């Protein structure tokens, strides 16, 4: 009896679910002959957003309602529609360029394509996205270049217009560069400007969004760029593997076809020439030999005796490309993959009458390519990664004879991967110390 009773209860439940499902399926039938518009939605409350508003609504009771939509004519004159499913209770409207009152038109849409009457609703948005981004804009002079920083906390699509001009050899020159980004934190370099430290550089910036809202040009000049030069490698020498300088041992780099000296010989690894170092999974000194089985070989430090005292400004690093003869000339190869260093620290050696010690200058992550094909990635990797010793405040280091490059991680798992074996070339920039 209990079994039969349980069977009937289950059957009743299944039938109820099927009836409910049928009713819900009916909502999504296409009503080709339906010409009757649904009722208007009802707005219960509104929440102010930066550059917009969130409208909390109740859809009409019509059984064939598909969505609740909002229409708004933006500053560029285009009509934008924002939509939320019948099953949601709110929709967001963006693209408003001030904090004044704006009227949003809401309506319901049914499966037959019929619109309800408009429900006008007034909103008062918070500060526009473009002005929030504008407040964060920084233009910073560097070495033969300058960079533009901005913060886009809402991750809305914005365009940054950078206009700059200067006079060179009596000729006035002007340029405009446009950067587009959805990222939260942004830094973009304008490079290869052959200006002296006394040449004036005028820079202005403005921010524009997809809806035609724009800020006025914001003057960020005049700027005066810093000047450095590539340091001659002919006097550089390397400590022997495991020899310690100020308590830090030189790395191992002679595994497989890699050699530690390849990193300062001026040659870059390519499909024609195997020219890189390889740690063979040997990293932290004191860790028992693992035969390369753990895949955990960082950190390791590459230490250079510069042969004289220099004030350092930048480092250019090149990754291993691949195995000689095993790649097409334009293939991506190993660029931005696990064996190459993706994250690293930079140090100089400080010397006092009583002690010597390493001073950390900065931490860097080599940008991982986004939305690029293999040829574009090849070109990016071939050019190398230029990093400032002091990226947030470009300047020269104190005079030093010793430089240390510390590998921290590869590119895997958001720069936390522990298998960073290879490095092809290091070049340093700066000036001779007086």
| 3-state SS track over 163-218 | EEEEEECCEEEEEEEEEEECCCEEEEEECCCCCCCCCCEEEEEEEEECCCCECCCE
CB of 334 within 8 A of CB of 274?
A: no
Residue 111: CB atoms within 10 A of its CB come to 20
Whether 226 shows a pLDDT value over 60: the answer reads yes
Q: What is the pTM of this model?
A: 0.80
Q: What local confidence, expressed as pLDDT, does residue 323 receive?
A: 65
How large is the average pLDDT for residues 338-358?
96
How many residues comprise the chain? Answer: 434
| CATH architecture of residue range(s) 129-219 | Sandwich (2.60)
CB of 250 within 8 A of CB of 241?
A: yes
Nearest of 227, 206, 224, 223 to residue 215 by alpha carbon: 206
Q: What local confidence, expressed as pLDDT, does residue 296 receive?
A: 61
Q: Find the range with the poorest average confidence among 33-42, 82-91, 363-372.
A: 33-42
Tell me the C-alpha distance between 15 and 91, whole Å. Answer: 35
String of DSSP letters for 136-164: H-EEEE-BS-EEEEEE-TT---EEEEEEE
How many helices (H) and strands (E) in the chain?
A: 4, 25
Per-residue confidence band for 160, with pLDDT thresholds at 50, 70 and 90: very high
Q: What local confidence, expressed as pLDDT, does residue 289 receive?
A: 45
Burial 397-427 (b: 16+ CB within 10 A, else e): bebbebbbbbbbbbbeeebebbbbbbbbbbb
Nearest of 338, 326, 340, 347 to residue 384 by alpha carbon: 340
CB of 66 within 8 A of CB of 86?
A: yes
How large is the average pLDDT for residues 177-185?
92
Tell me the C-alpha distance between 60 and 66, whole Å. Answer: 10
Per-residue confidence band for 34, with pLDDT thresholds at 50, 70 and 90: confident
Tell me the C-alpha distance between 332 and 368, whole Å. Answer: 13
Per-residue confidence band for 32, with pLDDT thresholds at 50, 70 and 90: low
Whether 11 shows a pLDDT value over 50: the answer reads no
Name the token pair of 280.
């063979």
Whether 4 shows a pLDDT value over 90: the answer reads no
Beta bridge partners of 316: 386, 427
Q: What local confidence, expressed as pLDDT, does residue 68 receive?
A: 97
Q: Where are the domains of the chain?
A: 42-123, 129-219, 229-432
How large is the average pLDDT for residues 108-121?
94
Whether 245 shows a pLDDT value over 80: the answer reads yes
Q: Find the range with the poorest average confidence among 15-24, 241-250, 363-372, 381-390.
A: 15-24
Close Cβ partners of 40 (under 8 Å, ≥ 6 residues apart): 60, 106, 107, 108, 116, 117, 118, 119
CATH 1.10.10.2840 fits domain 42-123: no
**Intrachain domains 129-219 and 229-432 with the same fold:** no
Name the token pair of 214.
């724009």
Q: What is the mean pLDDT of the chain?
A: 88
Q: What local confidence, expressed as pLDDT, does residue 173 receive?
A: 94
Q: What local confidence, expressed as pLDDT, does residue 271 receive?
A: 79
CATH class of 229-432: mainly beta
| Residue 316 to residues 285, 308, 399, 428, 430, Cα–Cα distance (Å) | 26, 19, 19, 6, 12
Q: Find the range with the poorest average confidence among 123-127, 233-237, 331-335.
A: 331-335
Per-residue confidence band for 326, with pLDDT thresholds at 50, 70 and 90: low
Close Cβ partners of 387 (under 8 Å, ≥ 6 residues apart): 314, 315, 316, 317, 346, 362, 364
How large is the average pLDDT for residues 322-330?
66
Q: What local confidence, expressed as pLDDT, does residue 282 receive?
A: 74
Name the token pair of 91.
């929709």
How large is the average pLDDT for residues 218-240?
96
Q: Find the range with the poorest average confidence among 15-24, 225-234, 400-409.
A: 15-24
CB of 213 within 8 A of CB of 133?
A: no
Tell me the C-alpha distance between 261 and 264, whole Å. Answer: 6
* 309 sits in which H/E element: strand 300-318
Whether 375 shows a pLDDT value over 70: the answer reads yes
Q: Find the range with the poorest average confidence among 12-16, 153-157, 399-403.
A: 12-16
Tell me the C-alpha distance between 421 and 407, whole Å. Answer: 9
How large is the average pLDDT for residues 75-94?
93
Q: What local confidence, expressed as pLDDT, does residue 283 receive?
A: 64
Whether 117 shows a pLDDT value over 50: the answer reads yes
Share of the chain above pLDDT 90, in %: 75
Whether 35 shows a pLDDT value over 90: the answer reads no
Q: What local confidence, expressed as pLDDT, does residue 325 receive?
A: 56
Q: What local confidence, expressed as pLDDT, does residue 18 receive?
A: 46
DSSP annotation of 319: -
């Amino acid at each position: 009896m209990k079994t039969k009773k349980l069977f009937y209860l289950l059957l009743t439940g299944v039938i109820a679910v099927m009836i409910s499902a049928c009713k819900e399926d009916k909502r999504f039938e296409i009503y080709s002959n339906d010409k009757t518009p649904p009722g208007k939605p009802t707005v219960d409350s509104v929440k102010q957003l930066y550059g917009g508003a969130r409208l909390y609504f109740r859809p009409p009771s019509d059984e064939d309602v598909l969505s609740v939509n909002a229409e708004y004519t933006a500053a560029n004159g285009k009509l934008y529609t924002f939509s939320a499913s019948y099953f949601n209770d709110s929709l967001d409207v963006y693209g408003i360029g001030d904090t004044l009152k704006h009227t949003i038109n809401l309506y319901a849409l049914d499966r037959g394509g019929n619109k309800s009457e408009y429900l006008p609703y007034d909103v008062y948005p918070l500060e526009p996205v473009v002005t929030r981004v504008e407040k964060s804009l920084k233009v910073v002079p560097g070495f033969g270049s300058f960079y533009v920083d901005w913060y886009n906390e809402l991750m809305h699509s914005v365009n940054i217009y950078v206009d700059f001009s200067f006079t060179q050899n009596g000729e006035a020159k002007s340029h405009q560069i446009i950067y587009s980004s959805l990222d939260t934190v942004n830094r973009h370099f304008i490079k290869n400007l052959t200006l002296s430290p006394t040449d004036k550089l005028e820079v202005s910036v403005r921010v524009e969004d997809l809806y035609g809202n724009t800020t006025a040009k914001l003057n960020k000049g005049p700027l005066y760029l810093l000047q450095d030069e590539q340091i001659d490698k002919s006097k550089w020498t390397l400590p022997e593997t495991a020899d310690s300088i100020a308590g830090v041992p030189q790395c191992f780099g002679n595994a497989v076809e890699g050699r530690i000296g390849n990193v300062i010989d001026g040659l870059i690894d390519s499909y024609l020439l195997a020219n890189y170092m390889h740690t063979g999974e040997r990293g932290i000194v004191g860790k028992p030999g693992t035969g390369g089985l753990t895949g955990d070989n960082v950190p390791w430090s590459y230490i250079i005796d510069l042969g004289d005292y220099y004030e350092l400004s930048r480092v250019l690093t090149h990754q291993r490309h691949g195995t000689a003869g095993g790649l097409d000339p334009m293939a991506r190869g190993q660029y931005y993959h696990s064996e190459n260093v993706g994250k690293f620290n930079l140090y100089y050696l400080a010397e006092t009458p009583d002690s010597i010690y390493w001073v950390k200058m900065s931490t860097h992550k080599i940008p991982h390519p986004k939305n690029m094909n293999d040829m574009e990635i090849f070109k990016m990797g071939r050019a190398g990664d230029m990093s400032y010793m002091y990226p947030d405040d470009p300047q020269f280091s104190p005079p030093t004879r010793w430089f240390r490059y510390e590998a921290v991680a590869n590119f895997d798992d958001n720069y936390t991967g522990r298998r960073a074996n290879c490095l092809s070339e290091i070049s340093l920039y700066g000036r001779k110390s007086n």
